[in-house]
Amino acid sequence: MEFQAKIAQIDAEKGVAPALVDRFEREHDYLRISLTERCNLRCFYCMPEEGVELSPSGHILTNDEVVRLARLFVKSGVAKIRLTGGEPTIRKGISDIIRELNQLRPHGLRSIALTSNGIVLHRQLEQFVQHGLTHLNISLDTLDPLKFELMTRRRGHAAVLRTLDMALKSSSPLSVKLNAVIIKGLNDAEVLDFVALTKDNDLSVRFIEFMPFAGNKWDKSKMVPSSELLSRIIRRYPDLVRAPDELNDTARSWKIPGHKGSFGFISSMSDHFCASCNRLRITADGQIKVCLFDAKEVSLRDQMRNGASDDDLLETIGRAVFNKQEKHAGMEDIDVLTNRPMILIGGSIAMHPRRHVRTSLRRPVASQLRYFGTCAKLTHLDDKGRPSMVDVHSKEPSRREATAIGRIYIPPLAYDLITTTRQDDNGTNPPNYLKARSKGDALTVAQLAAIMGCKKTPDLIPLCHPLPLSHISVALLPQPPEQARNNDGDISRPHRQPHRHSVLCTATVSCEGKTGVEMEALMAVSVGLLTVWDMLKAVAGKEMEIGEIIVTKKSGGKSGDFSRNL
């Protein structure tokens, strides 16, 4: 035993393997494993009412696969594993999984944790603890049985309370936390009742900010910032004090002097804790997901079933970890549509039928590889993902040409100003620099700007080669709505707005060189359109819109000719 403790200590001190360290030097020693996509509740904030399409059972990791991955992660430095779901307690064999995880202690696993809704857990809790469970988080959002039914769309309040009671009385040491997702106007008035639970119980209550996931109808106005809840609690308990947080804890904790327990806030939305993030997750169907809010996933299950070695798996894990983002997007920008619902992440039911979510999430193998940069690499990144200019010294120069187009939508008044002689000003009071100018001046300025911008491309786009351009031609064509509809023909493009006035900018650039000139053509169009904006902003600023910038033709070079019909 002493020997095992020694090994555990050495393992703990050696930190995590490089594969578990990301670009921001975050060491990932906490793994969340989802054991199932199923659940016996239907919490409205976690899954859409219509449910989620479940993966076929053969796609879910087997117990052996779960344990194999757990062992690999622990040997690579993971010290804490949390079992989650769906509802992990309804997975057959969970007790065996906990027992097997317990065998990983000599390799450095210190905590075996479980997050559960507590509905059926009271039947197995004692056994789980005997098998090695050390930390239990029970989710309970309300102390009112009727509200419970409203929030979870199922019954079972009494069963959860029974589990909670049993956990608090557990004979073996068990850390018990209670998770409550707080929703404005629904359960935020119960916060003080939850805090009161900490008086006589060694319990950590955590108030969780409502987070957006596919299908959960998240709305900022339903989210109660942690700071607001804290102010309410301070009004009732002015002498509360900060409580120590565990390293990398999601919660900021507080304690009321004399209370046995504590309470805290998981402010994932208003004050994220990404800088100290040490978490990785495996979904029930065996995908590694490096961030809760990142839709990218790669299948460890498929690799295992195709005979991958532990080294192969670790390499895949390493690439995924390396590419982890610094933090999740801001509150309004989180792209919930491409992510899974929470229940499928572990810790999802989709806006779209699951099939659709699947196609965007489960990438075919080739595109997964592309994502991790092994096969079709981004040409401006080197093997380590650092920016690098492409070396073209061995390429033969050839004639290259590219055409790009783009459009700026403008209001009718602005359209009149650039297409009408200003002497007959109709009293609309245009700015001085547009007054008394003849038709087309603004567009001439934009045309010259586009040509100058094109020549500056390598100065602005870091890894673009400077090229000896032989010709730049730029045309800016004002189009009334009818004309846009008649001769443009590109109405079918998704963002096309044929009912609006616009200026279509076309740039064709050519050179005798070793690389293509599409960046130069795109730059010319972009700068031309921005200059139209600048010239018209005094009369049209808020109503203008630039878009539809695309390459329509390219010729020369090894990749051959390309043309995209308008």
Ligand X SMILES: C[S@@+](CC[C@H](N)C(=O)[O-])C[C@H]1O[C@@H](n2cnc3c(N)ncnc32)[C@H](O)[C@@H]1O
Active-site amino acid positions: 534
Sheet with 287-289, edge to edge strand ranges:
241-242, 251-255, 262-266, 204-209, 175-182, 135-139, 111-116, 80-84, 30-34, 279-282, 287-289, 298-299
Q: Is 91 in the site for ligand GTP (CB under 6 A)?
A: no
Q: Is 113 in the site for ligand GTP (CB under 6 A)?
A: yes
Q: Which residue stretch of 274-282, 351-359, 373-381, 545-553 sits at the interface with ligand SF4 (rule: CB under 6 A)?
A: 274-282
Q: Least separation, in Å, of the C-beta of 118 and ligand SF4?
A: 9
- If contact means CB under 5 to 8 A according to the sort of partner, which of ligand GTP, ligand X, ligand SF4, none does residue 213 touch? ligand X
Question: What is d(CA 405, CA 60) in angstroms, rounded to the nearest whole number?
Answer: 47
Contacts of 328 (CB under 8 A, 6+ apart): 268, 272, 274, 291, 292, 293, 294, 334
Of 287, 305, 281, nearest to 357 by C-alpha is 287
DSSP at 512: E
Q: Which neighbouring-strand residues pair with 265?
A: 207, 252
Q: Is 253 in the site for ligand GTP (CB under 6 A)?
A: no
DSSP-derived secondary structure for 440-509: THHHHHHHHHHHHHHHTHHHHSTTPPP--EEEEEEEEEEE-HHHHHHH---TTSTT--TTSEEEEEEEEE
Q: Which neighbouring-strand residues pair with 474?
A: 507
Q: Is 187 in the site for ligand X (CB under 6 A)?
A: no
Report how many residues bind ligand SF4 under the rule CB under 6 A: 23
Contacts of 113 (CB under 8 A, 6+ apart): 80, 81, 82, 83, 133, 134, 135, 136, 137
Q: Is 187 in the site for ligand GTP (CB under 6 A)?
A: no
Q: Hey, which residues between 131 and 160 contact ligand GTP (CB under 6 A)?
A: 137
Query: Looking at beta carbons only, is 168 or 405 nearer to ligand GTP?
Result: 168
Q: Do 455 and 469 contact (CB within 8 A), yes or no? A: yes
Helix (H, G, I), strand (E, B) or coil at 224: coil
Query: Looking at beta carbons only, is 40 or 398 nearer to ligand SF4?
Result: 40
- If contact means CB under 5 to 8 A according to the sort of partner, which of ligand SF4, ligand X, ligand GTP, none does residue 113 touch? ligand GTP
Query: Looking at beta carbons only, is 86 or 478 nearer to ligand X?
Result: 86
Residue choice 214, 291, 410, 511 for contact with ligand SF4 (CB under 6 A): 291
Question: What is d(CA 452, CA 472) in angstroms, rounded to the nearest whole number?
Answer: 10
Helix runs in 513-554, H state only: 518-540
Q: Least separation, in Å, of the C-beta of 266 and ligand GTP?
A: 5
Residue choice 208, 317, 509, 551 for contact with ligand GTP (CB under 6 A): 208
Of 212, 223, 221, nearest to 337 by C-alpha is 212
Query: Looking at beta carbons only, is 129 or 449 nearer to ligand X?
Result: 129
Strands 175-182 and 204-209: parallel
Residue choice 76, 117, 134, 179 for contact with ligand GTP (CB under 6 A): 179
The residue behind tokens 């991955």 is 69
Q: Hey, which residues between 299 and 338 contact ligand SF4 (CB under 6 A)?
A: 327-328
Q: Is 293 in the site for ligand SF4 (CB under 6 A)?
A: yes
Q: Which residue stretch of 111-119, 166-174, 324-332, 374-382 sits at the interface with ligand X (rule: CB under 6 A)?
A: 111-119
Question: What is d(CA 159, CA 421) in angstroms, rounded to the nearest whole number?
Answer: 80
Query: Looking at beta carbons only, is 48 or 347 nearer to ligand GTP?
Result: 347
Interface pattern 372-411 for ligand SF4 (x via CB under 6 A): ----------------------------------------
Contacts of 536 (CB under 8 A, 6+ apart): 410, 414, 417, 418, 442, 544
Q: Is 45 in the site for ligand X (CB under 6 A)?
A: yes
Interface residues with ligand X (CB under 6 A)? 39, 45-46, 84-85, 87, 115-117, 139, 179, 181, 208, 210-211, 213, 216, 342-343, 347
Interface residues with ligand SF4 (CB under 6 A)? 39, 41-43, 46-47, 85-87, 117, 139, 272-274, 277, 279, 291-293, 327-328, 342-343
Interface residues with ligand GTP (CB under 6 A)? 82, 84, 113, 115, 137, 177, 179, 208, 211, 249-250, 266, 268, 279, 292, 347
